[in-house]
Amino acid sequence: MTDVVYTTASPRIALVTGGSRGLGRSTVFSLAELGVPSIFTYHTNRAQADEVVARLAQRGCRGIALPLDTGDASSFDAFVARLREALSELGADRIDFLVNNAGTSHHRAIETTTEAELDSLYEVHFKGVFLLTAKLLGLLRDGGRIVNVSSGLTRVSVPGSAAYASMKGAVEVLTRYLAKELGPRGIAANTVAPGAIQTDFSGGMVRDNPEVNRFVAANTALGRAGVAEDIGPLIASLLMSSHRWVNGQRIEASGGMIL
């Protein structure tokens, strides 16, 4: 049996894409509470990323922010080089945990979705996740863990979400293959599929549109829309050895939406 036992003197390190806001930020903070420092990525908002680093420092935990466009696969080699430097700053040479969270939203009917929009979603949500993960496997420690973030929209069909949900469906399949192929290294891979969450994702639609918020609450068993803090601790817990036997699974966290 392969167990997850950390005997190395190096600290456990997480890499979280899209960690400067929303679900990614909640994950970074949740990992900090477990004593795990994060290297996290941001797209363009450096000030927001610096704020996360500062808040981590206030909590007595290290954090390093690196810029990354997960839709630009040509930048991944340079990113891996910067990642190696960041790991050295933290006294490590490997990551233990990978959370593929970064993403963009899209709400358009199938007939009006353009080729350019579909390509963009593919590059960020599937091609980027696939190729970045492949690039990072040499830096992921044996016995490590991967969590890919999907969506409740792969289970529930909502008009206007076909392109986005299809890419997330592909990520769920990829996750199962990662679990199978990386099993000999003791690496587990799982998917977390959040329901409707009150963040700035989709322009803050669930958080700021009262009609949407009421609809979500009315169709959720627990009677409200989710918040980032419902998801970050779940992702963090899946990375811990207490969940070492959970592998190749899709775990929905939606409060019981549309059961």
Burial label for 144, CB within 10 Å (0-12, 13-18, 19+), is: buried
pLDDT at 165: 96
| Under 8 Å between Cβ of 110 and 163 | yes
Separation of alpha carbons 16 and 180, rounded Å? 22
| Under 8 Å between Cβ of 27 and 110 | no
pLDDT at 2: 34
Burial label for 120, CB within 10 Å (0-12, 13-18, 19+), is: middle
Of 29, 96, 60, 63, residue with least CA distance to 241:
96
Separation of alpha carbons 223 and 250, rounded Å? 23
Separation of alpha carbons 100 and 149, rounded Å? 6
pLDDT at 201: 64
Range of the domain at 188: 14-253
Flag whether 9 is in a domain: no
List Cβ neighbours of 222 (8 Å cut-off, separation of 6 or more): 255, 256
What average pLDDT values come out for the chain (259 residues) when binned by 10 residues? Answer: 41 95 96 97 96 96 97 98 98 97 92 97 98 98 98 93 96 98 98 88 69 87 93 97 97 95
Number of structural domains found in the chain: 1
CATH number for the domain spanning 68: value is: 3.40.50.720
Separation of alpha carbons 257 and 63, rounded Å? 34
Residues shown for the chain: 259
Separation of alpha carbons 158 and 215, rounded Å? 13
Flag whether 118 is in a domain: yes
Residue 136's H or E segment, with its range, is helix 128-136
What are the Cα distances from residue 13, in Å, to 20, 90, 99, 175, 191?
A: 17, 8, 11, 21, 19
pLDDT at 94: 97
Enumerate the β-bridge partners of residue 188: 145
The answer to whether residue 6 is catalytic is no
Q: What's the pTM?
A: 0.92
pLDDT at 15: 98
Separation of alpha carbons 95 and 93, rounded Å? 7
Flag whether 36 is in a domain: yes
Flag whether 141 is in a domain: yes
Pick the catalytic residue: 6, 42, 122, 164?
164
